């Protein structure tokens, strides 16, 4: 009840006629506070059915996307140039707003038509380059990126999943939940040109942390499950090579990362869940195999001219 009242107070305060100029920071703070349940980076609140939607853009200030876009552009420039905590935190806050907006499928087309993906990917690429390019593989793999830098990259990954798989079909199938595609009425965003090169380049960083490897595999799975039109674009010979190299442990990102010596045989039980431990579904090899299965299904279902 209190949560519902908080949302009503937010919408009554920030109507479509409100001028955001000079008030963007306050809006972001209020937006996060009123809709924090939609920011679920670890998918702890994921449920089998459809979810409650966040506000539609028609309910929010008319210049919202324009203002967020301008601020995101400035943050991206600062991240690439200086990488200060302040600009990374501001960028992360904007991305969280976009995640909330994308939890309403009617908003996705409008968010995707702006330059948010380009800015977010450029900023994440700059952060990953600084984290991994000048380190030995063993040193880079020995610890997860910490603090706001890791959080920023995780939010970028989550934002991309929300854009390309808004019903979280990939995540639900990993849990063995049935997905009624007849209820999926809205289309995800068309995959942006920056995504495939970003995916390939990230796996070239020696010693890329396991957490980020998993995040990249989740993005690939989400794109393939979200829409067949996107799936045929990402399932390329180069993408297949990357995924198979990760599976074999020969990818650049696997350098300095100790391989998982557990046998895959017998690990997967009914519904795709582990018969021994729920942690198995988070295993990189397991996720990679799931991606391979999606790739095979995509190739099998696609037309010959695709």
Q: Is residue 5 part of a domain?
A: no
Q: Is residue 9 part of a domain?
A: no
In this predicted structure, what is the pLDDT of residue 1? 53
Nearest to 2 by CA among 47, 40, 34: 34
Give how many domains the chain has, as a whole number. 1
In the structure encoding, which two tokens stand for residue 186, read together? 């809205």
Q: pLDDT tens string for the chain (306 positions)?
A: 556 667 777 877 887 777 787 889 999 999 999 999 999 999 998 988 766 788 999 999 999 999 999 999 999 999 999 889 999 999 999 999 999 999 999 999 999 999 999 999 999 999 999 988 765 555 444 455 558 899 999 999 999 999 999 999 999 999 999 887 777 778 899 999 999 999 999 999 998 888 899 999 999 999 999 999 999 999 999 999 999 999 888 888 887 655 433 323 333 333 344 333 334 335 888 999 999 999 999 988 776 555
Q: Is 97 exposed, middle or buried (0-12, 13-18, 19+ CB in 10 A)?
A: buried
Cβ(240)–Cβ(299) below 8 Å: no
168: left (phi over 0), alpha (psi -120 to 50) or beta: left
CATH at 94: 1.25.10
C-alpha distance across the termini of the chain, in Å: 50
Nearest to 148 by CA among 44, 253, 75, 213: 75
Domain limits at 139? 23-259+271-299
Q: Is residue 7 part of a domain?
A: no
Q: Which 8-state DSSP code applies to residue 166? A: T
**Helix (H) or strand (E) segment spanning residue 251:** none
Q: Is residue 306 part of a domain?
A: no
Q: Is residue 234 part of a domain?
A: yes
To 10 degrees, the CA torsion angle through 193, 150, 167, 170? 80
Q: Is residue 2 part of a domain?
A: no
pTM listed for this prediction: 0.86
Q: Is residue 3 part of a domain?
A: no
Three-state DSSP class for 268? strand
Hunting for tokens 């009554």 — which residue is that?
12
In this predicted structure, what is the pLDDT of residue 277? 34
């Amino acid at each position: 009840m209190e949560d519902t009242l908080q949302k009503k107070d937010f919408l009554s305060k920030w109507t479509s006629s409100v001028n955001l100029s000079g008030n963007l920071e306050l809006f972001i703070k209020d937006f996060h506070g009123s809709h924090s349940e939609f920011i679920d980076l670890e998918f702890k609140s994921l449920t089998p059915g459809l979810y409650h939607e966040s506000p539609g853009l028609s309910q929010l200030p008319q210049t919202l996307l324009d203002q967020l876009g301008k601020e995101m552009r400035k943050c991206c420039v600062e991240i690439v140039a200086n990488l200060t905590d302040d600009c990374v935190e501001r960028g992360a806050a904007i991305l969280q707003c976009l995640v909330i907006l994308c939890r309403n499928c009617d908003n996705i087309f409008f968010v995707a038509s702006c330059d948010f993906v380009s800015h977010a990917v450029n900023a994440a690429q700059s952060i990953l380059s600084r984290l991994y390019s000048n380190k030995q593989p063993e040193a880079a793999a020995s610890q997860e990126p910490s603090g706001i830098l890791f959080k920023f990259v995780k939010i970028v990954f989550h934002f991309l999943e929300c854009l390309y798989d808004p019903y979280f079909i990939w995540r639900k199938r990993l849990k063995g939940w049935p997905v009624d595609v007849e209820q999926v009425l809205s289309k995800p965003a068309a995959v942006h040109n920056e995504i495939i090169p970003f995916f390939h380049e990230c796996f070239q960083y020696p010693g890329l942390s396991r957490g980020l490897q998993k995040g990249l595999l989740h993005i690939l799975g989400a794109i393939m499950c979200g829409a067949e039109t996107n799936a045929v674009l990402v399932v390329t010979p180069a993408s297949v090579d990357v995924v198979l190299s990760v599976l074999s442990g020969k990818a650049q990102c696997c350098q300095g990362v100790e391989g998982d010596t557990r046998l895959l045989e017998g690990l997967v039980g009914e519904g795709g869940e582990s018969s021994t431990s729920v942690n198995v579904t988070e295993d990189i090899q397991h996720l990679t195999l799931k991606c391979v299965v999606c790739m095979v299904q995509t190739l099998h279902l696609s037309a010959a001219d695709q």
